[in-house]
Structure 1
Amino acid sequence: MKLVTFRHDGRTSIGKIVEDTIVDLPRADAQLPSTMLELLQGGAEAMERARASKVTAGNAVPLAAARLLAPVPNPSKFLAIGMNYRKHVAEAAKVGVHTPPTQVWFNKQVSCINGPDGDVHLPRVSEQLDYEVELCVVIGQRCRHVQPQDAASVIAGYMVGNDVSVRDWQLRSQTMTIGKSFDTTGPTGPWIVTPDEVPTPAALRLRLWVNGELRQDDVAGNMIHDIAAQIAHLSAAFTLEPGDLLATGTPSGVGVAMDPPSFLKAGDVMRAQIDGIGTLENRVVAEPC
């Protein structure tokens, strides 16, 4: 099942994709909510109701006529792991970033969340804007102290993410949070794909193009810390909530590690794709005054 947050005819709602149609879920079933966070908080019962909803004349929205938004626009947490692909670790050493032997996590402030086709702002205070395609995990239930073998049971689904980074602000901050959290620097989507459609997450291929030039290309199986280990590590420290987003790391090929570095400019188009999940396409624009 592919779950979306969308806008159509001035109305924002949630739905599921059936071929080229969106089933508007609260119109299909009055017991379903109109926001993704509430749907995820509804747990297995709400998800089964969504799965059972059928296309009818009263709830069908043509996919081509709708604007897809960030699937979870208001999570309580948006967390990301750094240096989690082997080749990315090697390239990061070129710019003086060295990784300790433990998982390294940081916050992306939720105000950075952007949609699958939203413009990304080139900040007025920096010219070092960079891209990072990532597999994004959506948590589906409140959990703490999750064991690795149980981690799959708390996942609601997967999305494409682009951990857009303002490198100079990132590298001069001890926590990286500011440089990872500028407004619009968290494109996610285009939908949440439920785990039944992703039987082997490690086999997923991640790619990112800038203006049609392939920059990143790797498979999720090359993570240093896999998704189960990430959930176990985080939930040992604090409670994960439905709708929380985990960006699971980026492959090599980022602009800051190129020789010479190649940062994004106004007019550039980033296309982030994960086979079997979907595609984000975001244009860089000058930050509005």
Structure 2
Amino acid sequence: MKLVRYSHNKVPGEFLGVQTEDGILAIQRLADHLNATIPLSMTDLLKSVDDGLDLIRQVIDQAGDLHFSLDNYLLAESDIHYLPVINQPEKILCVGMNYVDHVKATGGEVPVSPVFFNKFPNALAAHKQTIPLPSITQKVDYEAELVIIIGKRVNSVCEKAAKDAIFGYTIGNDLSDRALQFQSSQWMIGKTLDYFAPVGPSIVTKDELPNVENLAIQTKLNGKIVQDSSTSEMIFSVSKIVSQASQYMTLNPGDMIFTGTPSGVILEQSNPDWLKAKDRLDITIDKIGTLTNHLV
């Protein structure tokens, strides 16, 4: 299942939708017509992910059994505005140096354990949201990443148990200002500028991605391919990352973990041409979708 957070052009509020090939399914409106109860928002769903997903599936199945035409409950993308897939996560963790080709291209050493840093919720942005470049930035770079969404509260779990804590996955762009990033030994100020963590367009539940560590990942800058790799090239697996993070802190539903970027970022270039206003970035991960943002 692919779940989106959105606002409607004509109806105030935040909504939870199911992304289909034909459009966004207004699942709450469908549930209301069936006198069924489902989570009203992503925040509600995160209170009990498994139960909430079951309720949503039951509504869709019931509609099928009753021969409801789902076309009557579909929204065109022109009717909505995407919102960041999670609203105000407690934690946004990021893993650095998690693809060998990227490590080598930047002159680093292959780490023996995940290298964690952080962004804050102010950095979140949505699919198709324009990203303003702050005046303080000088060397802005893109980083295509698979993002883990936590669905259960866990602490100090093994790798096998870590899988049970995962709600699903989305696409992220770990936008970075390299001048600020390397201004000190802490990368934070170059990583968590406003809107420097666009995510989306949807959360794909983990049951739809049983082989998450073999997905093509690609970035296009103004239509030109600049990153072209696979999550199979990650040094540390999804389960390893979640397990390792949980040794240091309790992970809670809605926490997000960016899993690192492959080679092809601007930082690796001998004559870098940094991102600028009017640039367009399209990040595609197989079976998840495409995250698109323009810079202004």
TM class by shorter chain equals: over 0.9
SS in 2 for 1:231: helix
Question: Shift in Å at residue 74 of structure 1?
Answer: 1.5
Structure 1: state its 5+ residue gaps.
Answer: none
Question: Shift in Å at residue 100 of structure 1?
Answer: 4.4
CA deviation vs aligned residue, 1:229-273 (integer Å, no higher than 9, x gap): 101100011111111101001000101111211210111101111
Distance 1:24 1:175 in 2: 43
Q: Check whether the contact 2:151–2:166 (CA below 8 A) recurs between aligned residues.
A: yes
Distance 2:117 2:143 in 1: 15
Q: Check whether the contact 2:97–2:111 (CA below 8 A) recurs between aligned residues.
A: no
User: What is the letter of the counterpart of residue 44 of structure 2?
Assistant: E
CA deviation vs aligned residue, 1:15-56 (integer Å, no higher than 9, x gap): 112332333333325633332132122231111001222366
Does 1:6 find its partner at 2:12? no
Give the corresponding residue for 1:73. 87
Q: Return the match for 2:130 from 119, 133, 136.
A: 119
Q: Return the match for 1:188 from 189, 195, 199.
A: 199
Does 1:42 find its partner at 2:56? no
Does 1:60 find its partner at 2:66? no
Q: Check whether the contact 1:25–1:34 (CA below 8 A) recurs between aligned residues.
A: no
* More displaced stretch, 63-72 vs 242-251: 63-72
Distance 2:37 2:187 in 1: 41
SS in 2 for 1:120: coil
Distance 1:25 1:99 in 2: 45
User: What is the letter of the counterpart of residue 69 of structure 1?
Assistant: L
SS in 2 for 1:53: helix
Mapping of 1:1-289 within 5 angstroms? 1-8=1-8, 9-11=10-12, 12-27=14-29, 28=31, 31-54=37-60, 60-64=73-77, 65-93=79-107, 97-98=108-109, 100-285=111-296
Question: Shift in Å at residue 99 of structure 1?
Answer: 5.6
Tell me how large the CA RMSD over aligned residues is: 1.8
Distance 1:199 1:155 in 2: 12
| Dislocated runs of 4+, deviation >3 Å | 55-59, 97-100
Residues 169 and 145 of structure 1: CA distance in aligned 2, closer, same or farther (over 3 Å)? same
Distance 1:196 1:115 in 2: 24
User: What is the letter of the counterpart of residue 184 of structure 1?
Assistant: Y
Distance 1:63 1:275 in 2: 22
SS in 2 for 1:26: helix
- With normalisation by structure 2, the TM-score equals 0.90
Distance 2:89 2:187 in 1: 20
- With normalisation by structure 1, the TM-score equals 0.92
Structure 2: state its 5+ residue gaps.
Answer: none
Identity of aligned residues (%): 36
Q: Check whether the contact 1:218–1:251 (CA below 8 A) recurs between aligned residues.
A: yes
Q: Check whether the contact 2:100–2:110 (CA below 8 A) recurs between aligned residues.
A: no
Distance 2:250 2:48 in 1: 17
User: What is the letter of the counterpart of residue 265 of structure 1?
Assistant: K
Aligned length: 282
